Amino acid sequence: QVQLEESGGGLVQAGGSLRLSCAASERTYNRDARAWFRQAPGKEREFVAAIVRYGSSTYYADSVKGRFTISADNTKNMVYLQMNSLKPEDTAVYYCAVGTGTNARSYDYWGQGTQVTVSS
């Protein structure tokens, strides 16, 4: 059972940056994908970014493309999400997950989430 723990969330002004970290209890780089999702109040959980097996490719939601960067340190079982040029609409709880694709239903393992709040 993979355990995931996010950190790095907080309150930031619009235009600012945050870096989220996700620590896994065991190696996950050989899984299909490690991803970040987010969920704002009253909305469904949505895909943000994913890094596929061994970090060969990355994928992003259109809403964050060019502003967010997903990366991984496989030696430390860590995944990161660098978020730049943050907007108030990026406010949400951010979750890291291990699974496949971009549909949350295809992900088997989830962290508890970290709150990101962007003030205008």
The 10s digit of each residue's pLDDT in 13-55 is 999 999 999 999 988 777 889 999 999 999 999 999 999 988 7
Q: Could you count the other beta carbons within 10 Å of the beta carbon of residue 12?
A: 17
Q: What integer best gives the mean pLDDT of the chain?
A: 95
- On the question of pLDDT at 58 being above 80, the answer is yes
C-alpha neighbours within 13 Å on the C-beta side of residue 61:
16
pLDDT for the residue numbered 59: 97
Task: Please list, in sequence order, all residues whose beta carbon lies within 8 angstroms of the beta carbon of residue 99, skipping any fewer than 6 positions away.
Answer: 31, 32, 33, 35, 106, 107, 108, 109
> Roughly how many angstroms between the first and final C-alpha of the chain, as a whole number?
40
